[in-house]
Chain A
Amino acid sequence: MDDSVRRESGGYIGQSVPRREDKNLLLGQGNFVADIQLPGMVHAAFARSPLPHAKIVSVDVTAARAMNGVCFAASGDDVMAALPPINGMQVVAPQGWRDRVDTDILIPDQPLIPNDKLRYVGEAFALVVADSRYIAEDALELIEPDLKALQPLPDAESALVDGAPLVHEHLGRNVAAFLHAKKGAGAEGLEAASHRLKRRFVHHRYAAMPMECRGVVADYDTRTDTLTIWSSTQVVHWVRREVATALGMPEERVRCIAPDVGGGFGGKGHVYPEDILVAWLAREIGRPVKWVEDRHEHILNAAHSRDNIYDVEIGFDDDGKILALTSSFLVDSGAYTPVGAGIAGNSIAHMLGPYHIENYETDCKVVLTNRTPNAPYRGAGRPEVAFAMERSVDLVANHLGLDPAEVRFRNMIPPEDMPYEVGLTYRDGVAMIYDSGDYPSALRSALAELGGLETIRQRQKDALSEGRYLGLGLGCYVEGTGVGPFEGATVKIDPTGKIMVATGACPQGQGHETIFAQFAADMWQVPIDDVFVTVADTGHVTQGYGTIASRSTVTASGAIKLATDEVHEKVFAIAANLLETAETDLELRDAGVGVKGVPDMHVSYRDIATAAKPGWGHQRPDGVVAGLEATSYYEPPTVTWSYAANATLVEIDPETGQIAIEKYVEVHDAGVLVNPKLADGQVKGGLVQGLGGALLEELAYDDHGQLLTGSLMDYLLPSASDVPPLAVIHQETPSLLNAFGVKGLGEGGAIAPPVVIANAVCDALRPFKAELNSTPVRWAEIAMFFDQNG
């Protein structure tokens, strides 16, 4: 670890520095995409498919185009003639992963507006641009589509039936990817087990559902041949890449900015057709164009997530030691797979969790259906696989009459085995090694927070004797965070001596500007207000990756450090020249460089910046080139491994099946916490999303592929009164993989709640040997157990 930034040094890292983001947002001066208004701006709206699967016979936009106030209208034919589809695989899996995990991948490209057929309810078939959004929506009513309904594929299993119609005929199959991975003897390992259990686990479809829907504004400047795009996205550099590719422009002539973004959680983590279409429209029409998704559109058209079916077999001995595990799972990917097989890849890598299990074999099909495309949402394949795994662990315990906590302790990797080689390959192509952590201690603390295992069991027994049903639910997971391929940062010393930092990270409320300022202030030994941070703007950093996959704290801090190291070298060389001392006698202090032990021998960054300038009168030593600025790219060696133990205590109402959560605990370890208050906020926010997924939220389809939950009246988000008392305890085991010891934590909270709630309910219903192996956990289903057992 770099001594200059250790928290013991009294720096900013490790302190709950107040957020610099808050002020504008609290004063109502935030600037979200919907707030942008440019002179001459016109408004786009999209006509969307009412059918899950339909042949497009014709789409007539003539009447819409002729309407007063409309300046542009286009059908799929018009768009397909002008623009290529989006590359079906926005994230390219590295060769190392493809070599070590068996894959057979056929990813369909996504037409920006199709002209042959429609593949899900909500897919656009035409667009209109008008003087106002009101007029644009009027004009949509005048569009005449002639659609011929085709047999829908409402779910993954129906899409796999022999002779089922194809979602994408040219692929010749409804499977976008087959994956297979194995550890040890794989399925053969089951043979040696004295006990075997087989179960099916279903994790339903729900979604990120940020409070701000998506939106795009684009403005084309003819004189400079430059496009500026403001998109509510987590990945500005991807948007720039895809727009430049589709429109045949150099990337340098496309600038993408994510202004204030009202939540993302993965749902804004890839490029959508509208990002490209709105940019194209601005260039075609020659006026700024705005499109803001409404909530109904968002629910139909923004990516959904989860929606997996797992068939698991688990083999174990009399002591509850798990010997082998197999799983065969389906991901219902909907009509397209914008992030390829990424979710499935995560699931494969995360199944074994914190446990030492010798034999593991898994295969997966990513299945194309007539549902809305499925893309990563907070957890991205981990909540699904954690549900299958952690339910299985409880089933092992119940089968043997052991306590589920005890079975977990017996199988957990002990801290002395860290770093631990898993025997699988991560999706960055590198062999998986859990870098650090103490899993049993996390579980012990979680139980202690609820009063300790013995007390809990006693309370449960006492309650039962009074006819009350108390249940303890547990769930543990590990999480690969801070994944590559890279992040970029530019660090400069401004002529005024202030530190300027720009990174490719793209926040949606995490507080990046604050925490990156903490990092930079410590690296430069300046007051935090001397650091100016720019995020989410391709105009400020040449190459960037974006904020997905719990990666920004790790990867952006790495990039800021590399760029800073480079500038430090010059700063020391120039300071040595100015102070006429050897570099080895110098240190960073008081917003400048000083001679160690000599308080008044000091030059400020401002003086050094002046000395570093190009031109007459500079004071650079020979061989030091002008300027104090560097751009660097951090390519992490592989992921850092965060983890958590979750525990909850619930009481079930036998009449209604209602679940009252007495308390929910997560003991979380994300290495060194840069800003504990913000870290805590991330975990708690994630937990409540996980509870929403467990109990309330559901994107329900009928058997014909129609989405039944098209508003927030049907899709229930947790409100304040749904939130139980939460306790989050942070363990801080530094990562060994980076200078600051940090790991990622954005997603973690959302991973465990579904299985923890299911386990808690099953634990409460142990007298009936009840099993809940699918989500969401419904009261009605719980009440049924009581009915059946009189």
Chain B
Amino acid sequence: MTAKRSITVIVNGECLTGEAEPRMLLADFLRDELRRTGTHVGCEHGVCGACTIIIDGDAVRSCLMFAVQADGAEISTIEGLATNGEMHPLQKLFSEHHALQCGFCTPGMLMTAIDLVHNSNDHSPGAIRIGMSAALCRCTGYVGIIDAVMEYARQVHGDAAVTGDETGGGRNDG
């Protein structure tokens, strides 16, 4: 154990300070120190994507980062998507397309999708499917998730951007 340090981050526009040992994961810091439990932890080894948040504009797995590395960073999480109680368009689409069952993967799915739709140049269905495979869902078979994200990409970039072959389906790693 090493001495705790004071860490300040801006979470969804709110400036928050907490204490963390150097070894504390950012995911644990957000959840247990700052009590922002919307971000979930499903594996702690960087595979499931449930802990995905956006740090200084990029999607990051918060279980693969220490809290001390995030000192001073600007963070967006699922809790910051809605504005004044009004759901973000992507949140509404998730509900419309039944893109969640248990909802455990949802925080990571939403943040992965936001990053994908806003930060990438390729919005073809195939690219969306591959991009969304950064996060795992055990309940839905991804059907509603992919539909919701494609619809969101259409809303943001227009119908023309979201066309083309949906490659990727049916691949497996044998």
Residues of A within 8 A of B (CB): 18-19, 21-30, 32, 34-35, 37, 134-135, 138, 209-213, 260-263, 265, 294-296, 508-511, 656-662, 677-678, 680-681, 684-689, 691, 695-696, 711-713, 716-726, 778-780
Contacts and interface: CB of A to CB of B under 8 A. Distances in A.
B172 A509 contact: no
A262 B102 contact: yes
Interface centre among B1, B39, B42, B48 (most CB of A within 10 A): B42
B15 interface: no
B141 interface: yes
B31 A29 contact: no
Interface string B35-70: 111111111110110100000000000000000000
A28 B136 contact: no
A724 B170 contact: yes
B112 to A, nearest CB: 10
Contacts of B41: 34
Contacts of B43: 295, 711-712
10 contacts: A26-B100, A28-B79, A211-B42, A509-B103, A658-B171, A685-B140, A712-B43, A720-B168, A723-B169, A725-B169
Nearest to B166: A725
B89 to A, nearest CB: 12
A26 B47 contact: no
A440 to B, nearest CB: 27
Interface in B136-153: 136-146
Contact of B172 (A209, A212, A695, A725): A695
A721 B130 CA distance: 5
Contacts of A780: 174
Nearest to A135: B1
Contacts of B140: 681, 684-685, 688
B8 interface: no
Nearest to B174: A779
Given A22-B94, A27-B78, A684-B140, A212 B42 contact: yes
B57 to A, nearest CB: 20
Interface residues of B, number: 64
A645 B144 CA distance: 23
Interface string B118-132: 000000000001101
A260 B142 contact: no
Contacts of A656: 174
Interface residues of chain B: helix, strand, loop or mixed (majority): loop
Contact of B100 (A22, A37, A296): A22
Contact of B45 (A26, A687, A695, A711): A711
A696 B172 contact: yes
B171 A722 contact: yes
Nearest to B96: A18
B24 interface: yes
B32 interface: yes
A21 to B, nearest CB: 7
Nearest to B90: A26
A756 to B, nearest CB: 13
B101 A34 contact: no
B141 A726 contact: yes
Contact of B95 (A26, A37, A211): A26
A296 B42 CA distance: 10
A178 B74 CA distance: 61
Contacts of A138: 1
A745 to B, nearest CB: 13
Q: Which 6 A-B pairs have the closest CB atoms?
A: A28-B38, A262-B104, A25-B103, A509-B102, A509-B101, A779-B174
Nearest to A265: B138
A746 B77 CA distance: 31
A295 B82 contact: no
Contacts of B37: 28, 32, 34-35
B16 interface: no
B115 interface: no
B106 A25 contact: yes
Contacts of A660: 170-171
A720 B129 contact: yes
A677 B143 CA distance: 12
Given A722-B171, A724-B169, A262 B48 contact: no
Given A138-B1, A263-B104, A681 B95 contact: no
Contact of A34 (B31, B129, B133): B31
A296 B45 CA distance: 9
Contact of B102 (A28, A35, A263, A687): A263
A210 B170 CA distance: 22
Given A32-B40, A37-B35, 20 more contacts: A22-B103, A25-B100, A27-B38, A34-B31, A262-B105, A263-B138, A295-B45, A296-B45, A509-B139, A510-B101, A662-B170, A677-B98, A696-B172, A713-B47, A718-B172, A719-B136, A720-B132, A720-B142, A720-B168, A721-B133
Given A34-B31, A684-B141, A719 B133 contact: yes
A260 B141 contact: no
B71 interface: no
A211 B173 contact: no
A689 B138 contact: yes
A723 B45 contact: no
Contacts of B168: 720-721
A781 B100 CA distance: 36
A28 B173 CA distance: 32
B94 A27 contact: no
A210 B102 contact: yes
Contact of A726 (B96, B100, B143, B172): B143
Given A29-B38, A684-B141, A696-B172, A720 B146 contact: yes
Nearest to A717: B136
Given A134-B23, A721-B133, A687 B141 contact: yes
B170 to A, nearest CB: 4
Interface centre among A30, A684, A721 (most CB of B within 10 A): A721
A653 to B, nearest CB: 10
A726 B170 CA distance: 10
Contact of B79 (A19, A27, A681): A27
Contacts of A28: 36-39, 77-79, 81, 107
Nearest to B105: A211
Interface centre among A658, A723, A779 (most CB of B within 10 A): A723
Contacts of B142: 688, 719-720, 723
Contact of B40 (A262, A509, A691): A262
B130 A778 contact: no
Contacts of B106: 25-26
A447 B22 CA distance: 59
A713 to B, nearest CB: 6
Contacts of A212: 40, 42, 102, 104
B143 A260 contact: no
B156 interface: no
B173 A722 contact: yes
Contacts of A725: 169-170
A28 B82 CA distance: 10
Contact of B141 (A659, A685, A695, A712): A685
A688 B146 CA distance: 14
Contacts of A511: 101
Contacts of B171: 658, 660, 721-722
A229 B2 CA distance: 34
Contacts of A19: 95, 98
A657 B172 CA distance: 11
B137 to A, nearest CB: 7
Given A30-B103, A695-B172, A681 B144 contact: yes
A134 B168 CA distance: 40
